Structure 1
């Protein structure tokens, strides 16, 4: 676990937003989008500030020509460039970037890893499954938060990936010390269960969400568990919610 990076999580509310919140947004109403041709050239600039700005531009621009250079910038000596490249690859997902993103999960910088797990989720590739599970189990809270969300996208990868993602999400839902991480686990379980048939894995996930709804000490986590159960539409869960509401527990 990257214990030294716990200092990066200074504001508990900050981890609730998108990873792209770390980057200053371009005002679409007053500022035209950057010129892709110019930004492609700046990705190779000797000035790290220019490389960073160019990589950030591809958070707003979708252009597959940038992908090889963004992959290269994942290993830039400047962490701000690496962060920007990770976010840009999340906006320009490609199977060609998956191996490089996985390798960058070893980055010493927690902000970089946070962007990397978000990008991996957007790539919808089975190679990211085990690294994301490991990040959910071992990394800092801000990274675990987005690893949980990324695992919620495994439904787009396939049935086997969905089944494999559910047990670690249940474990983190029950045990993670950070409420925001547990909340994202609840959201992801809701996403995954909507794609599953009514089998043992599905039932176990629904049970875990019901347990969280009743027992989690954080009201926000309870609310997210309830929202996921409502989206799943499981009849047993809906009856439980109705009963709890009638008895004044919700």
Structure 2
């Protein structure tokens, strides 16, 4: 289990974001020209740390399969800024080949920013092998990593039914118990996303019960609003009825 107090590069209480959190989507329009992949690819193997970091960050904007083997190698770079850039770049360039290296790096990297980038990349890989690592991150890691692990678990919707039903109980547990409101909110959002892939079965019913409980009982308004939003988007009759009843009684 990671200790929030053992990191010097990540202030958990003051900053849940990393410097790369606000990257634009790959296809986003920008006034700035994108880097030239032909120039960036050789720099991924540069002896200069700054050049490796620059090139890895370039592939946070670019999609090019040729970069993937280089980015995988950079996951173990001595410089944490290179490693975090490589992790984010693999999230932009997801590959089945990257899943095991990402999992291995998550298990041994001391840097919270790197682990955060890794869990984001693992979610984007849409691979069943990522599930246990994402669950472990949600349960045991520092706040900033748990925040993204919760969101990444929503990506299990693209993996399949078995992954969805394995992820939902862990998300419910964190939505009820995590001490950080932002993490609980992300869990509520992810549960809503995953429930869209479920038939009306016991797992679905349990998830709706948990969203209702969170909506009624969570101490944070933002968490309650995210649970409400999840139920509204699902259109679940029980959830909609509860919301209607509370509105009528003046509680909302």
TM bin (shorter chain): over 0.9
Match of residue 194 from structure 1: 196
* Aligned mates of 1:128, 1:40 — CA distance in 2: 27
* Aligned mates of 1:56, 1:167 — CA distance in 2: 35
* Aligned mates of 2:39, 2:154 — CA distance in 1: 36
Alignment length, in residue pairs?
248
Structure 1 pair 25/200, CA: closer, same or farther in 2 (3 Å)? closer
Structure 1 pair 244/24, CA: closer, same or farther in 2 (3 Å)? closer
Deviation at 1:25, TM superposition (A): 10
CA contact (8 A) 2:188 2:230 kept: yes
Match of residue 93 from structure 2: 92
CA contact (8 A) 1:9 1:141 kept: no
* Aligned mates of 2:29, 2:52 — CA distance in 1: 21
How do 1:1-250 and structure 2 match up within 5 A?
A: 1-3=1-3, 4-5=6-7, 8-12=10-14, 14-15=15-16, 20-21=20-21, 29-105=30-106, 106-250=108-252
Q: Deviations over 1:64-123 (max 9, x none)?
A: 100000000000000000000000000000111000000111200000000000000000
Deviation at 1:7, TM superposition (A): 6.9
Deviation at 1:22, TM superposition (A): 6.5
* Aligned mates of 2:251, 2:8 — CA distance in 1: 35
**Greater helix fraction, Structure 1 or Structure 2:** 1
Higher mean displacement: 146-155 or 1-10: 1-10
Output the TM-score relative to the length of structure 1.
0.94
Structure 1 pair 194/74, CA: closer, same or farther in 2 (3 Å)? same
* Aligned mates of 1:29, 1:90 — CA distance in 2: 20
* Aligned mates of 2:149, 2:58 — CA distance in 1: 24
> Equivalent residue of 2:42, what SS?
helix
Structure 1 pair 190/18, CA: closer, same or farther in 2 (3 Å)? farther
Q: Which runs of 4+ in 1 moved over 6 A?
A: 22-27
* Aligned mates of 1:76, 1:224 — CA distance in 2: 38
Which runs of 5 or more structure 1 residues have no equivalent in the other structure? Answer: none
Q: Deviations over 1:121-177 (max 9, x none)?
A: 000000000111011000000000110011111010000000000000000000000
> Equivalent residue of 1:8, what SS?
coil
CA contact (8 A) 1:6 1:140 kept: no
Which runs of 5 or more structure 2 residues have no equivalent in the other structure? Answer: none
CA contact (8 A) 1:6 1:141 kept: no
* Aligned mates of 1:114, 1:185 — CA distance in 2: 16
Structure 1 pair 60/172, CA: closer, same or farther in 2 (3 Å)? same
> Equivalent residue of 1:153, what SS?
helix
